[in-house]
Chains A and B, each alone.
Chain A
Amino acid sequence: DVRLLESGGGLVQPGGSLRLSCAASGFTFGDIPMNWVRQAPGKGLEWVSTIGDNTYYSDSVMGRFTISRDNSKNTLYLQMDSLRADDTAMYYCARRIKVSGTGAFDLWGQGTTVTVSS
């Protein structure tokens, strides 16, 4: 079964850290750029980060979040440091479609919730 399964979300105080994981199955994980997208409660989608040949970050998380992957474990990570209240969101991992040069996401996990609050 082709799927992505996020974990690691939870409640954290402002300034704290969390590490999200996304376990992939059913496809050749190492070949494909992977992404994190978030959605604040009641709001729209926001791209956060991509890892492929290079890594990319949104301005809002640059310097605080680090994307990484372990291809031997078929797992994507997002290390989130210096968390702020406006980082509160559902965090989705998403696979980039296997069409060259296309930054569309064709497989999404169910998401993991991050709440930053004191």
Chain B
Amino acid sequence: EIVMTQSPATLSMSPGERATLSCRASQSVGRNLVWYQQKPGQAPRLLIYGASVRATGIPARFTGSGSGTECTLTISSLQSEDFAVYYCQQYDQWPYTFGQGTRLEIK
């Protein structure tokens, strides 16, 4: 099984700042990587697939990059609604696996 490790576990930032979230895979997943956002009491929301393709309706301030074993989600200028938990997920191999999440909190 591919182990996905996200860092940092918690990121404390202020609105307007740039946030960088990392996801590392225990072996290469190519570009077969997804990012989700989850707010309390809500289901996850798809942000990015194929490592860098924004899903329908996702604002341009969300950018995915990387491939292989290292991927990154960048939020260029944090808005109040962006404070949430973010998960990466690989679909390169079964079983699909998620990272443990990065909590993005208001500083």
Q: Which residues of A contact B (CB under 8 A)?
A: 37, 44-47, 50, 56-59, 92, 97, 99, 102-106, 108-111
Contacts of A108 in B (CB 8 A): 43-45
B contact patch SS: loop
B55 touches A47 (CB 8 A): no
> Which residues on the A side are within 8 Å of B38 (C-beta)?
45
Contact flags B33-49 to A (C-beta < 8 A → 1, else 0): 01010100001111001
B1 lies within 8 A of A59 (CB): yes
Count A-B contacts at CB 8 Å.
62
Report whether A102 and B95 are in contact in the complex, using a CB–CB cutoff of 8 Å. Answer: no
B contact residues vs A (CB 8 Å cutoff): 1, 32, 34, 36, 38, 43-46, 49-50, 55-56, 87, 89, 91, 94-101
Q: Measured between alpha carbons, how far is A16 from B98 in the docked complex, in Å?
A: 28
In the bound assembly, the distance between CA atoms of A90 and B97 in angstroms comes to: 17
Instruction: Identify 11 residue pairs between A and B in the complex whose beta-carbon atoms are under 8 Å apart, listed by A's number.
Output: A44-B87, A44-B99, A56-B95, A103-B34, A103-B91, A104-B49, A104-B89, A104-B91, A105-B36, A108-B45, A110-B43
Query: Nearest-CB distance from B97 to chain A (Å)?
Result: 7
CB <8 Å contact, B95 and A47: yes
Which residues from B are CB-within-8-Å of A50?
96
